């Protein structure tokens, strides 16, 4: 499955500082992939209306049962509000037993430093 395109909800200001979150989400078994993909669609609908979201991307390595996310937020409060709201909050709770060790990286980055290439976006959570 190819990476989903970079979705930019707002222009990235090269001189502004943003909160960036990168994640690596490995599933324990291939049988969990279909449900994870359905959940991904629900979360994407939530992202479409999330306050403070600037841009996001998703990459899937189905053969490895691994998903990568990368999102850019105006501030930590916006990211926390999204993460603590359903359906994201409920989906994360339900998926914990189906996940291997996930990795998350949070950074404050200047807009000019925000990558849009997966080879760079995955680096913090490999």
**Rounded distance, CA 118 to CA 13, Å?**
20
pLDDT digits (tens, 9 = 90+) for 49-61: 999 999 999 999 9
| Predicted pLDDT at 15 | 97
| Predicted pLDDT at 1 | 60
In the predicted model, is pLDDT for residue 5 greater than 70? yes
Contacts of 21 (CB under 8 A, 6+ apart): 69, 70, 71, 73, 79, 104, 105, 106
| Predicted pLDDT at 6 | 86
| Predicted pLDDT at 76 | 97
Indicate the class that CATH gives domain 7-125.
alpha beta
The better pLDDT of the pair 42, 124 is held by 42
The better pLDDT of the pair 75, 2 is held by 75
pLDDT digits (tens, 9 = 90+) for 62-96: 999 999 999 999 999 999 999 999 999 999 999 99
pLDDT digits (tens, 9 = 90+) for 7-40: 999 999 999 999 999 999 999 999 999 999 999 9
């Amino acid at each position: 499955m190819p990476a989903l395109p970079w979705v930019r909800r707002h222009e990235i200001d090269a001189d502004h500082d943003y909160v960036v979150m990168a994640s690596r989400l490995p599933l324990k078994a291939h049988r969990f992939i279909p449900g994870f993909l359905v959940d991904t669609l629900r979360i994407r609908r939530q992202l479409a209306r999330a306050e403070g979201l600037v841009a996001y991307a998703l990459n899937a390595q189905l053969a490895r049962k691994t998903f990568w996310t990368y999102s850019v937020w105006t501030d930590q409060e916006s990211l926390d509000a999204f993460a603590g709201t359903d359906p994201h909050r409920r989906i994360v709770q339900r998926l914990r037993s189906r996940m291997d060790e996930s990795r998350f990286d949070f950074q404050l980055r200047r807009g000019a430093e925000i990558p849009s290439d997966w080879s760079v976006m995955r680096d913090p959570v490999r």
